[in-house]
Amino acid sequence: MVGVLLTMVVLFLGLALFMAVVWNAIKADSAKSDLEMMWEKYEEVIRKEDVL
């Protein structure tokens, strides 16, 4: 019984760690893409100002 309980706790902690790592990777990736999108818009504004 104790072995089963211990196994479940270890599996739960492993799952929590895995989810934390995946969540941080998703946040970092979305922040990176947001930054790239903002930079593209900024470059577009600069191009329009150069035309004027």
| pTM of the shown model | 0.52
Q: Where are the domains of the chain?
A: 1-52
At 35 the pLDDT is 77
Cα–Cα distance for residue pair 25/23, rounded to 1 Å: 5
Q: Which amino acid is at 6?
A: L
At 18 the pLDDT is 92
The answer on pLDDT for 3 being more than 80 is yes
Cα–Cα distance for residue pair 45/48, rounded to 1 Å: 5
How do residues 7-46 score in pLDDT, each as one tens digit? 999 999 999 999 998 888 887 777 777 777 888 888 888 8
At 52 the pLDDT is 63
**Count, residues in the chain:** 52
